[in-house]
A and B are shown apart, each in its own frame.
Chain A
């Protein structure tokens, strides 16, 4: 069964450093999302991406964050200057279309630890 993959599984970085989290969506999927989950809290939407552009972003997704799909396969989330409060699990999710938009397929996540 096709699945969403994410790398790395765990990233430790120092405050102020840049990190890039990578996701490989399921091949025929068109809509891509990043969510995050701070330990012990709920899953929160960060950004959605369709047709090579952001379709919506949350208040969390400030100027420190960016997304791109550089090569038609990878979908990346960049945090330019990490803060302690960016420590969380970051999940990539994809969906083939909007017929059943809630059926999103999540990757295993990247655990980001900012020290």
Chain B
């Protein structure tokens, strides 16, 4: 079983739409979770951390459900510039705190 699983998409939505991505993780001991964004052939960039209480940053809302081992990202009022691959990421439970990446969900926002 993959450690972090995501629907690869692509999600093709019009500008202004609301879109939600989901992710599941297999290691119940994982402590920290994140959403990174990756543009084509570029490096991953941290979008936001994910907390059990839920957190919001502008148009982006992330949620963690530890009981279900489920993470979500909601994007409201999609912009063309939101087109990218969204990576669900967990911290490895060891001294190095390596990142464990999902395969990513591709989002295409059309005019």
- Which residues of A does B touch, CB under 8 Å? 31, 33, 35, 41-45, 48, 50, 55-56, 58, 89, 91, 93, 95, 98, 100-109, 111
Chain A positions within 8 Å of B32 at CB level: 100-102
B101 CB contacts on chain A under 8 angstroms = 42-44
On chain B, the residues within 8 Å of A33 by CB distance are 96, 98-99
The closest CB in chain B to the CB of A89 belongs to B41
Give B94's nearest chain A residue, CB to CB: A56
Within the complex, the shortest CB–CB distance from A82 to chain B, in Å, comes to: 21
Please give the residue numbers on chain B whose beta carbons come within 8 Å of chain A beta carbons, in ascending order: 32-34, 38, 41-46, 49, 87, 89, 91-92, 94-104
Whole-angstrom CA separation of A105 from B91 in the bound complex: 14
Which residues from chain A contact B45 at a C-beta distance below 8 Å?
A: 106
Asked whether B43 lies within 8 Å of A91 as measured between CB atoms, the reply is: yes
CB distance from A95 to the nearest CB of B (A): 8
- Which residue of the partner chain, among B34, B43, B95, B103, contacts A42 with CB atoms under 8 Å? B103
Interchain CA distance A95-B94 in the complex, whole Å: 16
Given contacts A43-B44, A106-B43, whether A100 and B102 have CB atoms under 8 Å apart is: no
* Residue pair B96, A42 in contact (C-beta under 8 Å): no
A110 to B101, CA, bound (A): 19
Knowing that A102-B89, A102-B97 touch, tell me 18 more A-B residue pairs with CB under 8 angstroms.
Answer: A33-B98, A41-B103, A43-B87, A43-B101, A44-B101, A45-B100, A48-B96, A56-B92, A56-B98, A58-B98, A91-B44, A102-B49, A103-B34, A106-B43, A107-B43, A108-B42, A109-B42, A109-B43
Q: Which of chain B's residues has its CB closest to A40's CB?
A: B103
A102's partner among B33, B41, B95, B102 (CB-CB below 8 A) is B33
